Amino acid sequence: SKLLARRKDGDCVGFVIHNVQGGGIVASRTESAHGMADGVVDHTRRLSFSPDGAFLAFAARSEASDSGMNKIFVYDAPMFQKLRAIGCDVLVDFAFSPDCRCIVTLCRNGSVVLHDVRSGDEVRRFDGPKVGDFGTIAFALHGALLAVCGRDKDEVTIWQLADGTCLQTLKVPLS
């Protein structure tokens, strides 16, 4: 078993993976300010292994992003080698698809972009509601649907991934 922890070390952000059973560090990686367009000014806020454990991604922020993240670093998890960086204007959240072939990003301006994990290429773009600085995104377990919710909105938008159709916008009672 492994435990994932984020870290900030000077002008670097990254992750440390600990062996829960035997103790000790399994792997540690950082991205320096030189890996970001404007220099890293904050620690990682979001880390995630893909459902199959093949990939590890973490989000980092540069000075240009104000309060959000703007780059996701994707690693080959077994080898702990960086595969690529996926950019976003101001990233709010990201998630791996259940089949681990895609990663989806949610940006403050409401854009939801599906990327191929291996190439980083954009597969599909969805135009959602502006979510502000806080929002969340989730795949249905079968991988055919995608749901997005913003903190400042009282609604959840559900899309069909196959063709990008917005299936429904659900109003969420706040009280």
Question: pLDDT by residue (tens digit) across 19-28?
Answer: 666 666 666 6
Exposed e or buried b for every residue in 83-106, given b needs 16+ CB within 10 A?
Answer: bebbebebbbbbbbbbebebbbbb
Question: pLDDT by residue (tens digit) across 45-61?
Answer: 678 889 998 888 888 76
- Contact yes or no for 72/91 (Cβ under 8 A): yes
Which residues touch 90 (CB under 8 Å, ≥6 apart)? 65, 66, 67, 68, 69, 70, 107, 108, 109
* Distance from C-alpha of 70 to C-alpha of 160, rounded to nearest angstrom: 26
Asked whether residue 6 carries a pLDDT value surpassing 80, the answer given is no
Question: pLDDT by residue (tens digit) across 135-170?
Answer: 888 999 999 999 988 666 678 889 999 888 889 988
> In whole numbers, what is the pLDDT of the chain averaged over residues?
75
* pLDDT number for residue 14: 58
Asked whether residue 107 carries a pLDDT value surpassing 50, the answer given is yes
Phi, psi angles (nearest 5°) of residue 172: -110, 120
Region 122-147: what's the mean pLDDT? Answer: 82
Cite the beta strand spans of the chain per DSSP E: 2-9, 12-19, 25-31, 46-49, 55-60, 69-76, 81-96, 102-107, 111-116, 122-127, 135-139, 145-150, 155-160, 166-171
Which residues touch 158 (CB under 8 Å, ≥6 apart)? 145, 146, 147, 166, 167, 168, 169, 170
